[in-house]
Amino acid sequence: MESKLFDSELRIMDILWEKGDTSAKRIAEILKEQVGWSKTTTYTVIKKCLDKGIIVRTEPNFICSSLITKEQAQEFEATELINKMYGGAADQLVASILRRKQLLPEEIKRLKQLVNNLE
């Protein structure tokens, strides 16, 4: 993945990550229900995803398949955020999150396990 995913592209990707290979027609139906997009709008965003190389289209029926995993997209977006807002310092991002959110005991336990696994 070489560039940021826009919210509109993430809508397409979320459908593919949740449902797997899906026809463009079905994607358009889902997005019309969810957010009121026209078929033209959906097809335009699908074209942008194709151009970015994050989905592939196969015939018949214009079946769209994701070429990236949700985890890959999350990792890319997290890295972009860390670089842009925290000068590449991941610990500063974590510290910022921890200052803003009251964590539940089980969340604290999971975080401690994650840190211990890194050592």
Single out the residue in 53, 68, 83 at which a domain terminates. 68
User: Domain for residue 2, yes or no?
Assistant: no
- Give pLDDT, residue 112: 87
Percentage above 90 pLDDT, the chain? 71
d(CA 111, CA 89): 18
Q: What is the pLDDT of residues 15-69, one digit of tens each?
A: 999 999 999 999 999 999 999 999 999 999 999 999 999 999 999 889 999 999 9
| Shared domain check, 11 and 63 | yes
Give the confidence band of 76 by pLDDT, cuts at 50, 70, 90: very high
C-beta of residue 25 within 8 angstroms of C-beta of residue 37: no
- Give pLDDT, residue 1: 67
Q: Is the pLDDT of residue 100 over 90?
A: no
| Shared domain check, 99 and 64 | no
Q: In residues, how long is the chain?
A: 119
Name the residue range of residue 105's domain: 71-118
| Shared domain check, 64 and 11 | yes
C-beta of residue 82 within 8 angstroms of C-beta of residue 45: no
- Give pLDDT, residue 51: 96
Task: Indicate the number of domains in the chain.
Answer: 2
